[in-house]
Amino acid sequence: MSKALLIEDDRKLAALLVEFLGQHGVEATVAGDSSQALQHLGSSRFDILLLDLMLPGMDGLTLTRKIRERWNTPIIMVTARGDDADKIVGLELGADDYLAKPFNPRELLARIRAVLRRAEPADAPRFQSGGLVIDFAAREVTVDGKRQILTAHEYELLCALARNCGRVLTRDQLLDEMKGDHADDAFDRSIDVHVSRLRQKIEPDPRHPRYVKTVRGAGYLLARES
């Protein structure tokens, strides 16, 4: 059974979701605010986080930023704030998906399953190219032994390149590798920006990439180093 942390201050909604998800193989623990959420994350392991933006005290966007400083657990934002600006900011901060209220619980369940499928470890437990190491099980990336904090999109982008190391991937192929039928239009338009930001975090000299290389007119590839 998958384990979810439901960060939601609406007790009635939280109780309904806990019951529904429990009937479909997802054991949900409820945190009523950001402080409780961080306490749960510090003491227990979760497969996915379901996070409401409109929380008492620390808001959901700030909480997402704090979570991404320490954990790479997949996040689905579940909130009444459904405008594009909030969605884009949430995804940029590291959320994996975004669902606006009101919603059908079955859609939430489908999105949970889709995100968990994408988060499954690759066949190999880890990937290494020179000083770059990806631990798929822990969803952790290190460069020369130093852990790098990546957003969800940056991590998925790097994993897609790692699964095809040495092979040039077009933008469309990258999107297929990362999201399949759930590709996000906003991400599609900004994939070059995400590559640039990824390089800022993993490259010794982002202006002269060592790992993520551009093949002009074709796409990107991840170089293999011994």
**Which tens digit of pLDDT belongs to each residue from 72-121?**
889 999 887 666 777 788 888 888 888 988 899 999 999 999 888 876 65
Domain ends where: 91, 119, 147? 119
Instruction: Say if residue 79 is in the same domain as residue 162.
Output: no
3-class DSSP assignment, residue 137: coil
Q: For residue 181, is pLDDT > 80?
A: no
Question: Is residue 144 located within the same domain as residue 212?
Answer: yes
Q: 133: helix, coil or strand?
A: strand
Residue 202 parent element (H or E)? helix 191-202
CA distances from 170 to 6, 35, 112, 134 (A): 36, 42, 27, 22
pLDDT digits (tens, 9 = 90+) for 112-168: 998 888 766 555 688 899 999 999 888 899 999 999 998 888 888 999 899 888 888
Choosing from 78, 95, 119, the residue where a domain stops is 119
Q: Quick one: average pLDDT of 193-211?
A: 93
pLDDT at 123: 59
- Mean pLDDT value across residues 28-32: 96
Q: What does the pLDDT read at residue 86?
A: 74
Same domain, 66 and 38: yes
- Are 7 and 114 found together in one domain? yes
Please check the confidence at residue 173 and state whether its pLDDT lies above 80.
yes
Nearest Cα neighbor of 167 from 212, 202, 124 is: 212
For residue 8, the model assigns a pLDDT of: 95
pLDDT at 131: 93
In order of 7, 9, 63, 77, 124, the CA distances from 55 in angstroms are: 8, 6, 9, 12, 39
Q: Are 44 and 112 in the same domain?
A: yes
Where is the domain boundary, 119, 150, 173? 119
pTM assigned to the model: 0.61
Please tell me whether residues 20 and 101 are part of one structural domain. yes
- For the cut 90, the answer to whether the pLDDT of residue 177 exceeds it is no
Q: Are residues 157 and 89 in the same domain?
A: no
| CATH number of residue 155's parent domain | 1.10.10.10
Residues 6+ apart with CB under 8 A from 95: 51, 64, 75, 76, 77, 152
Q: What single DSSP character describes residue 30?
A: E
Residues spanned by the domain of 144: 126-222
Q: How many domains does the chain have?
A: 2
